[in-house]
Amino acid sequence: MLRKKMTLACLGFVVVFIMIATIGFVAAAIGIPDGLEEANAVSDGREPGTSLNPYLISTKEELEQFRDIVNGLNGQTKNWDVCARLINDIDLKGNDDDQWIPIGNPYYNGVFDGNGYTIRGLWINVSDSNKNNKALINTTYGMNAVIKDLTVEGTVSAYSNAAGIVAENSGSVTGCVNKATVKNGGYSVGGIVGRNMGGDVTDCVNEGSVNGF
């Protein structure tokens, strides 16, 4: 009887191991980056990172990895259309030695859903007149680009096109709050959007200090 129980237990372990290995294989096969989770179960077959199946972001590291996918950095394949949803407040803990590289270089065309959460510690401090478009998100392009329900805190200092949420916008920014301090030494500065290029900005509030210098 003991041997039979041990055999059944071993068989159960093997089945569980195979299931875990299979799930991992499927995730790798459809291109889910390590550290990022998709909103729906892997088994439903949906492509990850779409508006119906966005990546779920809860940490600084996951936000950086999402940024790298959009921008094509650190070995990631560039994807301007990838979508994400925050599921937690995030502290970037930025400083001069750890400055934020904006999402969307040259542009972003996906849906970024802040889901009511806050990104704190945004830090960008650039005085070079050749380095423009500084914010959490560099440039939104086209009406498929949607930034919504997001609050940003921190400091952005740049020569031109500086903001807390989007530096240059031709998409849609809605339901966002900027609490970041924004400083600009050239032109086009704002709390929510630095420069609006025919995009929509609705139901947004700026609570941060905005200064040209």
DSSP notation for 55-70: EEE-SHHHHHHHHHHH
Is there a single domain that holds both residue 88 and residue 1? no
Per-residue pLDDT tens over the stretch 132-154: 889 999 999 998 999 999 999 99
Asked if residue 140 and residue 203 are part of one domain, the reply reads yes
The DSSP line for 155-179 is: EEEESSSB-SSEEEESSEEES-EE-
Domain count, the chain: 2
Q: Are 165 and 178 in contact (CB under 8 A)?
A: yes
Same domain membership, residue 147 and residue 52: yes
85/12 same-domain check: no
Say whether both 24 and 113 belong to one domain. no
Question: Phi and psi at residue 66, in whole multiples of 5°?
Answer: -60, -45
Whether residues 15 and 49 share a domain: the answer is: no
**Residue ranges making up the domain that contains 9:** 1-30
∠ CA 182-64-83, rounded to 5°: 95
| Cis peptide preceding 106, ω within 30 of 0 | yes
Query: In this structure, are 10 and 71 located in the same domain?
Result: no
Q: Are residues 43 and 19 in the same domain?
A: no
Quote the CA–CA distance of 103 and 13 in Å, as a whole number: 43
Residue 160 has pLDDT above 70, yes or no: yes
| Whether residue 102 sits in one domain with residue 41 | yes
- Sign of CA pseudo-dihedral 38, 39, 40, 46: negative
Predicted confidence (pLDDT) at residue 29 exceeds the cutoff of 60: no
Phi–psi pair at 80, nearest 5 degrees: -70, -20
What would the pLDDT profile of 87-142 be if each residue is shown by its tens digit? 999 999 999 999 999 999 899 999 999 999 999 999 999 977 667 889 999 999 99
Cβ–Cβ < 8 Å for 136, 166: yes
Q: What is the mean pLDDT of residues 66-78?
A: 95
Shortest CA distance to 139 belongs to which of 68, 71, 74?
71
Provide the token pair at 55.
Answer: 């990546």
pTM over 0.85: no
pLDDT at 28 over 80: no
